[in-house]
Amino acid sequence: MTWDTKLIEKANEIIELYPQKRSALGPLLYLAQEKEGYIDDDSVVEISKLIGITEVQVRSVASFYTMYKQEPTGQYLLSVCKSISCEINNSRELINNIKEFTGLANNETDEDKTFTFEEVECIGACGGAPAVQVNYETVEGVTPTKALELCKYLKEEVPKVIVADELQEKFGGVKSFDWGIEDNSGTSSTAPGFQIIGTAEEK
Amino acid sequence: MSENIKFTVDGKELEGQSGELLIEACEKSGIHIPRFCWHKRLEPVGMCRMCLVEVETPRGKALVPSCTTEITEDLVVDTESEIVTKAQEGILEFLLINHPLDCPVCDKAGECPLQDQTMAYGPGESRFVEEKRHFEKPIPISEVILLDRERCILCARCTRFSDEISGDPLIEFIQRGNKTEVNTFPNEPFRSYFSGNTVQICPVGALTSTSYRFKARPWDLKKVSSTCNCCSVGCSIELNTSQNKMLRILGEDNEFTNQGWLSDKGRYNFDFLHSENRVLNILNKSEDSFNEISIAEATVKIKDKINELDNPNIKFLIGSHSTNEEYFVINEVANYLNKDKFLSRDSSNVYFSDDLLFNGYFDDEYSKAKLEDLDSSETIVVWCEDIKDNLPILYLRIKKAVKNGAKLIVFGHTNTAIAGLADFYFGKGIVSNKFDLIVNPSEIEDLKNNTQGKKVTVIAGKSTVFQKKESLDKLINYLNESSELKVFNSFSKGNTFGALQNIDEVKGLNEFCNEFDNDAKNIVFTVGVNPVNSSHFAQPIKEILISSDFVVSMDLFINETTELADLILPTTSLGEKEGTITNMEMRVMKQNKILPAPGSTLSEWEYLTAILNILGGDVQYRNENEINSFLVKEYKDQQQVATFDNLNKPSNLFGVINRKEININTKDLHEDTFSLLMVRRLYGDSSTQINSPSISMLGAERFIELNSETAKKFGIKSQFGNLVQGSNSILINIDINEFLPDGLVVAPINRRGFENVDPSKEFEITEAKNREELSVN
């Protein structure tokens, strides 16, 4: 899908924030991901035109960072930390439970496009390990049992908007600290809220 | 300013310049540090870690990559310590983990840095028993280049080249970690005029050329240095042959000209040498077909014809692919026939086949530029034909200078490829729709501010056939008075400057057409030219050749021009003849012979001396060297003459600059109204290119360019259409180019399909029925 005028207008607003056009590449990729749920080739072409670099240069950056998705993800992207703090707090069992529930291996999406499961490196929540992210909204102190409940909740209730605090209350435990930007609006897609460019406010 | 620095490597005290990289400083002192990613013409990245050396630091010895470390005073370096050796073994073991051991079928084997350095520095045994990474092998990333990702060691030489040097980054690293690969974007192939260089600098066999793949092993190749004749930059090249076949051409690092790089045209335009279409015997036209005759019969025929026609006009139409020695003989023959003894005409009868030839800036009042002057210029001013298409390596040199801080000012409407680099582009408002300067140059503020009192190099030439010399004069003379100016005459075709140096008086195609007297008897010699295919004057020249009484063509193929000849004398080409050629900075360089002349072909000078002798001349050149010894006598500087012996000395391998008197006599074309401009593109339908299978498809795309205003005027809505002229209709892509003036349509002159388009006649552009028609070739 090529970009409509509204999206291009928004992209131009972002580009103006930077002294060089090509510096806007990161946020523009988020914009593309917001729209399609992943970075599709058409968006790459649009971005390359907007900031004056070649398509393959855009794709090079987009494919380097794992949080830019190269393929469509399911409605809920489950990112479970496997780094050292979570690992010693039993994230392995948590991972196994989620894998068993969803039937997914690392970096897989199920057939009805509900879940995508991925094991990730440190997500900066060591104080509340083990930690899980649903569409990049972080839940800390999750036990293997709570993780199963979380999956069940997502599968049965199918919440439209994911809000970190709500999940934390229902399925979380010990919390490390008030992390990140103050943003309680949640996300409705697998793209992360990106407050600076205003994508989060629209929900 | 850089200062001398003393440092110690392996116990030896060395000297280098401040700011120099350790790996480079060591190399200069004869200490070789192994490397994959580092290349002296590219920015260092420290990617492969092969060049790790041990350096003494305040905190003890440390391993550092020598390609990203600058030398400092009293630096102590160890390149052979136990730790360095271990690091090198380790790096090689890592690199070989995923590198396939397909050396027996790999083109690179035998000249492969990975293979060689594994032998020299590698661990000797592999501990890797797991499955290697697999990719589809190979994948084409353009028409001329194949990529085998399994072999790639991720040194980033190719991606850095395409980004830093050629400026068309169409290949990049995709993915990360173990999955990293070099690739292109889908449907966006690596279409670059310079893509072949990535094959040459690839330290493994990941990038290969379609033309060389599986053709030979490096140890079977016979090699000789030579000079490329595709444009007037004169790149240093190495010809590689095996079994008397040219197999590939590599760029040599000539500091003064190409600095290692070549355009793909120069690199891949050689398959034609062995084409089955090549003319190998003298062809004589009788009725409408050609039959083979001997050289003896041919010379007699020419003699008889000249005598029979009784005082005919004899004209020479010459091209840009002869050597200086051949031009010298052409001049001698032309003079002999024309005035010295034979026919007593007083004006010159030699016409050079370049639409854009003009009188140039050769007088002593203009100081002449060298390519290295671009690097020291504060401002570069360009007003000439499209540089990227016609002088590709000059484009790279300008790009490099601009990257290092030179300001670039471009005039005109047609030099669009270089516009992306320009600080100032003076098109509409300053240059009229007829390519004349309509503003006094001293009134252009940006020009004045960037040139007055500064070091300026100007690349000056006619940007189009319609341009008048007068407006170019205005600019050049203004710059000459107000700045420290050095001038390049931008004649772009092959050995143009050799022709100018060695022929007493040169005229252009416009003069050829104007001076033709249909009532007189006419004999025309064409020497390696095909103007009927690719000149603004194609139609009148065709008519002249048809109505001439006798036409002799010296060429490699039967083409649009030679098919009109009565006699075709097949000649030799690159690698089949020895001689010197002169580039745009008057650097005289050597072309060497490595292949035998095929069939019964002879070099142009051999035919010409034979003709001269049968007509009563008494010249007895036995070889190129003898001609050379005569022609060097006319060089202005007799200290550094370009004799074969001199040029073969190691210090002169990259040529010597030497000048001769130059005399060009051309007049401007006076066309008041024109709306179709035909310009030359790098790739096209020259008989050499279409007979070189590996690049014959590169010149297949047909397109026109116009600005959006003009498009509106023609009522063009889609991106493709038909160019219609009389009964001739060509399917074309329509490209919008806003640099062009209103009302002008630009079409390639050297593309298949355009040979029957007459720029002086009316045309129209109509909608094409469907897009599929375009792909029909």
DSSP string, B623-671: SHHHHHHHHGGG-S-SSS---HHHHTSGGGTT-EE------B-------
Quick one: average pLDDT of B732-756? 89
Query: Is any Cβ of chain A less than 8 angstroms from the Cβ of B164?
Result: no
Q: Indicate yes or no: CB of B173 within 8 angstroms of CB of A54.
A: no
pLDDT at A1: 60
What is the C-alpha to C-alpha distance for residues B447 and B462, in angstroms, rounded to an integer? 19
CATH topology of domain A76-171: Glutaredoxin (3.40.30)
Q: In the 8-state DSSP scheme, what is residue B580?
A: E
Query: Is any Cβ of chain A less than 8 angstroms from the Cβ of B175?
Result: yes
Q: Indicate yes or no: CB of A54 within 8 angstroms of CB of B174.
A: no
- CATH no. of B282-357+496-583+594-640: 3.40.50.740
pLDDT at A130 over 80: yes
Nearest beta carbon to residue A56 from set B175, B176, B184: B184
Nearest to B151 by CA among B72, B215, B204, B189: B204
B745 close to B676: Cβ distance less than 8 angstroms: yes
Q: Residues of A with CB below 8 A from B168's CB?
A: 54
What is the C-alpha to C-alpha distance for residues B651 and B648, in angstroms, rounded to an integer? 8
CA torsion sign for B409, B414, B418, B420 is positive
A to B CB pairs, distance under 8 Å: 37
* Closest CA–CA distance from residue B192 to any residue of chain A (Å): 13
**Consecutive H or E run containing B351:** strand B350-352
Q: Indicate yes or no: CB of A57 within 8 angstroms of CB of B169.
A: yes
pLDDT tens across B324-346, in order? 999 999 999 999 888 766 666 77
* Burial per residue of B90-129, b for 16 or more beta-carbon CB atoms within 10 angstroms, e otherwise: ebbbebbebbbeebeebbbbeebbbbebbeebbeeeeeee
CATH topology of domain B676-775: Barwin-like endoglucanases (2.40.40)
* Closest CA–CA distance from residue B170 to any residue of chain A (Å): 6
CATH 3.40.228.10 location in chain B:
373-489
Query: Is any Cβ of chain A less than 8 angstroms from the Cβ of B626?
Result: no
Hey, which residues does B524 pair with through a beta bridge?
B315, B551
CATH 3.10.20.740 location in chain B:
4-80
pLDDT at B102 over 70: yes
pLDDT at A193: 45
Question: What is the C-alpha R_g of chain A?
Answer: 17
Can you count the helices (H) and strands (E) in chain A?
8, 5
Quick one: average pLDDT of B503-531? 94
What is the C-alpha to C-alpha distance for residues B568 and B573, in angstroms, rounded to an integer? 15
**Residue-wise DSSP of B80-101:** SSHHHHHHHHHHHHHHHHSS--
Q: Residues of A with CB below 8 A from B188's CB?
A: 54-56
Query: Is any Cβ of chain A less than 8 angstroms from the Cβ of B181?
Result: no
Pair type for strands B350-352 and B313-318: parallel
Phi and psi dihedrals of B550, rounded to 5?
-155, 130
Query: Is any Cβ of chain A less than 8 angstroms from the Cβ of B176?
Result: yes
Nearest to B171 by CA among B204, B150, B146, B151: B146
pLDDT at A199 over 70: no
Cis peptide before B693, with omega less than 30 degrees from 0? no
Quick one: average pLDDT of A183-196? 54
pLDDT at A196: 42
In angstroms, the Cα distances linking A48 to A25, B186, B281, B719 are 9, 14, 54, 21
pLDDT tens across B39-64, in order? 999 999 999 999 999 999 999 999 99
**Residue-wise DSSP of B603-629:** -HHHHHHHHHHHTT------SHHHHHH
pLDDT at B145 over 70: yes
CATH topology of domain A5-64: Arc Repressor Mutant, subunit A (1.10.10)
What is the C-alpha to C-alpha distance for residues B82 and B486, in angstroms, rounded to an integer? 54
- CATH no. of B373-489: 3.40.228.10
End-to-end CA distance of chain A: 22
Domain locations in chain A as residue ranges: 5-64, 76-171
Please give the ipTM for the structure prediction. 0.90
Nearest beta carbon to residue B188 from set A55, A60, A66: A55
Q: What is the dihedral of CA A61, A63, A68, A71, to 10 degrees?
A: 150
What is the C-alpha to C-alpha distance for residues B322 and B528, in angstroms, rounded to an integer? 8
Q: Indicate yes or no: CB of B185 within 8 angstroms of CB of A53.
A: no
Pair type for strands B676-679 and B745-748: parallel
Q: Indicate yes or no: CB of B172 within 8 angstroms of CB of A66.
A: no
Nearest to B229 by CA among B620, B519, B556, B639: B556
pLDDT at A188 over 80: no
* Closest CA–CA distance from residue B382 to any residue of chain A (Å): 24
* Angle of the B604-614 helix axis to the B324-335 helix axis, nearest 10: 20
Query: Is any Cβ of chain A less than 8 angstroms from the Cβ of B189?
Result: no
Q: Do domains A5-64 and A76-171 have the same CATH topology?
A: no
Nearest to B127 by CA among B89, B150, B103, B97: B97
B351 close to B665: Cβ distance less than 8 angstroms: no
Q: Residues of B with CB below 8 A from A53's CB?
A: 169
Q: Residues of A with CB below 8 A from B169's CB?
A: 53-54, 56-57
Q: Indicate yes or no: CB of A54 within 8 angstroms of CB of B185.
A: yes
What count of other Cβ atoms lies within 10 Å of the Cβ of residue B204?
Answer: 23
The CATH class given to the B4-80 domain equals alpha beta
What is the C-alpha to C-alpha distance for residues B143 and B73, in angstroms, rounded to an integer? 50
**Residue-wise DSSP of B204-260:** SSSEEETTTTTT--GGG-EEEEEE--SBTT--EEEEEEETTEEEEEEE---TTTTTT
pLDDT at A189 over 60: no
